[in-house]
Amino acid sequence: MPIERPSPRRTNTAQLTVAAERRVLPNGLVVILSPDDAASTVVVNIVFRAGTVYEPPNRNGMAHMAEHVMFRGTTPDADYYELLEQRGALDLGAFTGHETMNFITVMPPQELPVALWVIADRMGHLPGFIDRADLSQHLKIVLAERNERNVDREYGAVDELIDRTLFPEQHPLHSGIGGTPASLGAVNASDIKAFVERLLVPANAVLVVTGRFDPAVASQLVDQYLAGLAPGVKAANPALPRTDPEGRLVTASELLSREPRITLAWRVAGQRSEALDALEQGAVLLTLSTDGAFGTVSTMTPYMRKWISLYSDRHVIQNLLPGWFLSSIAHVCMARIERMRNVEFVHVEDTLHHLRCPLLMIHGSGDTYIRTTMAQQLFRRCRGPKEFWLVESARHNQSLHVAGDEYHRRVSQFFKLHLPLEPDAVVRFNSVAVNAVPTEAELEIA
């Protein structure tokens, strides 16, 4: 029987090349046009240098609140959200990060003019109608978001704890992007207006249009709506307080999760965006640690032999069937399902075969679901530096509960050995069952 396998997807440099036209308007707005005929929509994204690091002192979270204020509209009569939805918007979003704030709209191609008009209107008018009641409403929304994303979600407090650990109290990133209820409560209408007037201006922004559109038409629309706006001033890099060069270890209790989590974080400064992207991707690829991992075919094959015995009493013939034969049947079945359902399965075995980063594979000897021989077969496929730790008597995904402190020691030692730099912060959350929220005294800082 011939083995049918889907042909591997190979990506070449030409497929990764993105055609783009970049120009700068007289008012300083950077415009990037990148048409894609394969797309069915047009995406309009404007990015401002208006993230958390640009907030004034004692106003942590104000950038995020300003994003909420400007998302809907600058006057009571201008509801951008309703307008864009009426014109068929497929996606609307606004996001605030450490350094940037951006507004993104996905529209039908014929609605590009209205998307650009909204951007022009947002930059051309200040939020003069904001009053105490409006701010109070936005404050409720922002705090509700914080509760949903950070307080009432598993590992949600990790980001906030990392920011408090990496950055000193005087640093604008110390309280994270969302800020605290106290700092947000101190924000007034004048603060929002001054922040928007200073930072949400053409000279401080990059506009990206991509998807299905005519570049000539888009360029004409940009000139029509945006070229005449007052430029403003490009924001200078903020002067930030010095950070502690020493690394720190923080251990905290996590109430909502069932498993522990270890997060390593580094401060990276003075790098171009390309270098930062490379570092971010490289951090993912530097090391790999698994607990209870299993492959698809290497797990299916032993179970296929077991299932055959349920339907056939010819045990002699069953025992003579070689493993490669059962594996071939598994590949053929998976290939047919991929074609029928127009999907592509992830083949863990093939991925590990090409893996070159250090691997720590943890497995429990008492695992009756993924037996030790299955895990060892998967482990043998990895060609890079690797370590297999068999935790005696541990059942499936129970190695931590059995090994305890030894588990933490082995995992930490593995990352310390193979990561090239000491992290500036290691945040470890223990899964505990308690009835009270942990206090600051429960945080162990070394």
Q: Give the domains, in start order, of the chain with CATH numbers.
A: 13-225 (3.30.830.10)
Joined tokens for residue 233:
């001033």
Has residue 279 got a pLDDT over 70? no
pLDDT bracket for residue 76 (50, 70, 90): low
Quote the CA–CA distance of 362 and 387 in Å, as a whole number: 8
Contact yes or no for 299/374 (Cβ under 8 A): yes
Edge to edge, the sheet with strand 359-364 lists 288-291, 359-364, 386-391
pLDDT bracket for residue 4 (50, 70, 90): very low
Contact yes or no for 344/293 (Cβ under 8 A): no
In sequence order, the β-bridge partners of residue 290 are 361
Taken in order 156, 158, 163, 169, is the CA torsion positive or negative?
positive
Which stretch of DSSP H or E encloses residue 265? strand 261-265
pLDDT in tens, 115-131: 999 999 888 876 555 66
In terms of pTM, does the model score above 0.85? Answer: no
Q: Running DSSP on this structure, what letter comes out for residue 110? A: G
Residues 92-107: what's their mean pLDDT? 92
